[in-house]
Amino acid sequence: IEDFGIEHDAHAGNWHRQVSLLSFETREAFKARGAEIDDGAFGENIIVSGIDLIHLPVGTQIKSGDVLLEVTQIGKECHSHCEIYHRMGECIMPTNGIFTRVLHGGKLKKGDQIKVCTE
């Protein structure tokens, strides 16, 4: 939803972290180190493959179909360590997750192509 986030999501609203993304490759590497995690375990909304998310500058736009997101934050401060941190000794969302705001809403589904806008 434009300037809100994902309907019924706890993190949606009028702020800069409406939608969170995490790299599939980063998550799989974390799982290979012994983490037993499912999709959404970090609170991420979207898992993407083939995009080096943490090196996208703030302000970068990401598009999929009608949906247009703008990167607003790379990583986050972890104030209270989550269950994953307590089991593994680390959590990848604070260093590898990115946060976006919704510039234009629409529908996304698993398998949709996401691209970084270069214009």
Q: Which amino acid is at 65?
A: G
The total domain count for the chain is 1
CATH of the domain at 110: 2.40.33.20
**Is residue 1 domain-resident?**
no
**Is residue 12 domain-resident?**
no
pLDDT of residue 4: 96
What is the per-residue pLDDT across 11-64, written as a single tens digit (0 to 9) for each? 899 999 999 999 999 999 988 988 888 888 888 899 999 999 999 999 999 999
Q: Which of 83, 15, 29, 71 is nearest to 46 (CA)?
A: 71
State pTM to two decimals: 0.87
**Is residue 23 domain-resident?**
yes
**Is residue 10 domain-resident?**
no
pLDDT of residue 119: 65
State the virtual CA torsion across 27, 66, 59, 96 in degrees, nearest 10. 0
**Is residue 2 domain-resident?**
no
What residue numbers bound the domain in which 91 lies? 19-116
Q: Is residue 3's pLDDT more than 80? A: yes
